């Protein structure tokens, strides 16, 4: 990782209340390189392919810290597998194939001029009196491939 990238990663970690550590920097840098949905074991293996010497335990612990800081999103794949999403924007949903486990991002949908999450939040609050933080939406189905 070059110095410029290292400086940017340090800044992002600090902005999210995390101290810098080499494992966090390596994991975050890898996840920011491309949009992906990956489990901890897959990430661990990919990092080892690059020559990074992180343990599986270190990978898990740092993914949790990055998730808690809002730098990665967690979602459940098929068979309740925990996946991590490098795209933390709330403006998308996940479509999960029940056969292959493939996960794709689906752009936000609008209902009555509002993003679907906002529409659901307001509708449920209006109908139930509950205070909804923000609905989590994951779509399941079968991929056309």
User: CATH code at 97?
Assistant: 3.30.1490.190
Give the pLDDT score at 96. Answer: 93
Do residues 16 and 54 share a domain? Answer: yes
Q: Whole domain around residue 43: which residue ranges?
A: 3-85
Residues 57-79: pLDDT tens digits? 999 999 999 999 999 999 999 88
Do residues 35 and 78 share a domain? Answer: yes
User: CATH code at 69?
Assistant: 1.10.10.10
Residues 27-38: pLDDT tens digits? 999 998 888 899
Do residues 80 and 136 share a domain? Answer: no
Do residues 41 and 96 share a domain? Answer: no
Do residues 81 and 96 share a domain? Answer: no
Do residues 34 and 105 share a domain? Answer: no
Do residues 79 and 134 share a domain? Answer: no
Do residues 23 and 78 share a domain? Answer: yes
Whole-number Å distance between alpha carbons of 31 and 59 = 12
Enter the pTM of the model: 0.82
Q: Mean pLDDT in the chain?
A: 91
Residue 113 contacts by C-beta under 8 Å, 6 or more apart in sequence? none
Do residues 77 and 100 share a domain? Answer: no
Do residues 77 and 9 share a domain? Answer: yes
Phi, then psi, of 63 in degrees rounded to 5: -60, -40
Do residues 72 and 124 share a domain? Answer: no
Do residues 34 and 50 share a domain? Answer: yes
Burial 25-62 (b: 16+ CB within 10 A, else e): bbbbbbbbeeebbbebeebbeebeeeebebeeebbeeb
Last residue of a domain, one of 40, 66, 85: 85
Measuring CA to CA, how many Å separate 23 from each of 54, 85, 115, 129? 7, 17, 36, 44
Task: Please identify which residue in the block is written with the tokens 């489990």.
Answer: 39
Residues 70-109: pLDDT tens digits? 999 999 998 889 999 988 887 888 999 999 999 999 988 8
- Structural domains in the chain (count): 2
């Amino acid at each position: 990782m070059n110095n410029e990238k290292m400086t940017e990663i340090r800044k992002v970690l600090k902005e999210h209340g995390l101290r810098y550590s080499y494992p966090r920097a390596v994991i975050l840098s890898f996840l920011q390189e491309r949009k992906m949905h990956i489990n901890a074991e897959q990430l661990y293996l990919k990092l080892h392919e690059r020559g990074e010497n992180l343990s599986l335990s270190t990978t898990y612990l740092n993914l949790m810290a990055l998730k808690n800081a809002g730098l990665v999103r967690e979602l459940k794949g098929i068979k309740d597998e925990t996946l991590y999403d490098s795209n933390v924007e709330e403006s998308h949903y996940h479509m999960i194939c029940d056969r292959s486990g493939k996960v794709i991002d689906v752009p936000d949908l609008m209902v009555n001029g509002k993003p679907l999450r906002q529409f659901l939040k307001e509708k449920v609050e209006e109908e139930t009196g509950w205070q909804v933080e923000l609905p989590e939406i994951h779509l399941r189905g079968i991929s056309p491939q």
